[in-house]
Amino acid sequence: MTMSRLLLITSTILLALLVANTLWIFRPGQIAAAKQASAAEVELESAIGSWQLASLEPEQYALIFFGYHRCPDICPLTLAHLGRAYQQLPIDLQDRLQVVMVSVDPRLDDWQELFAYPPLFHPSFKAVAGETEQVDQLVAHFEAFYRVVDLPSSGLGYAIDHSPGLYLTNHRAERLLTLVSDDSHYLLTELKTFFGDQP
């Protein structure tokens, strides 16, 4: 075998190994896992300091939704439904479930007012806030949406259209369940079913 042919074969083998290794590195499942890990580590601010999904205990869950303090309809209605449903959950399930409102109005939401808002519906409920880039990362991860709509004739001058969904997740930011807050009985039934406590 000539030297040139040997070099050609060696180069071909090395190229094949490189391609195979690259395909292994960038498998879709691994990309999804990396994005999931990144979402779990997004750090936001709460009334008692920094908060992130990764800080949850393995047996804990978070039921998050996206909203803003001055929201005139979806947010207060969602919190009211959640408050009624949460109070009817067994105490052990309440201890494992955090209800978290993520502000999609980081520009205008006053953080102290925001943090005090969800506890009006249940003392354990919390709100978190952060920079737009951080919030957008979570919004994208849970396939939610929001957009600012100018309303010059309104008192605020704007409104924010946003997803009405509730997203059940864990310390790995896995998307376990998506709910819409139709009423408190629906939420209670879905949560009990998920946790294996049939109504």
Query: Which fold, 41-194?
Result: Glutaredoxin (3.40.30)
Of 127, 43, 39, whose CA–CA distance to 78 is shortest? 127
Of 14, 128, 11, 24, whose CA–CA distance to 69 is shortest? 128
Ordered by start, the domain boundaries in the chain are 3-34, 41-194
Tokens representing residue 69 in the block? 């303090």
pLDDT of residue 1: 57
Q: Are 15 and 23 in contact (CB under 8 A)?
A: no
pLDDT one digit per residue (tens) for the chain, 199 residues: 565 554 445 555 544 444 444 433 434 443 445 455 589 999 999 999 999 999 999 999 999 999 999 888 899 999 999 999 999 999 999 999 999 999 999 878 999 999 999 999 999 999 999 999 999 999 999 999 999 888 777 667 788 889 999 999 999 999 999 998 778 999 999 999 999 854 4
pLDDT of residue 25: 42
Q: Are 100 and 75 in contact (CB under 8 A)?
A: no
pLDDT of residue 111: 93
pLDDT of residue 18: 46
pLDDT of residue 124: 96
pLDDT of residue 174: 95
Q: What angle do CA 115, 118, 123 make, to 5 degrees?
A: 100
Model's pTM, two decimal places? 0.79
Q: Which amino acid is at 25?
A: I
How many CB atoms are closer than 10 A to CB 65? 26
pLDDT of residue 198: 44
pLDDT of residue 86: 96
pLDDT of residue 20: 44
Where helices occur in 117-162 by DSSP H, the ranges are: 132-141
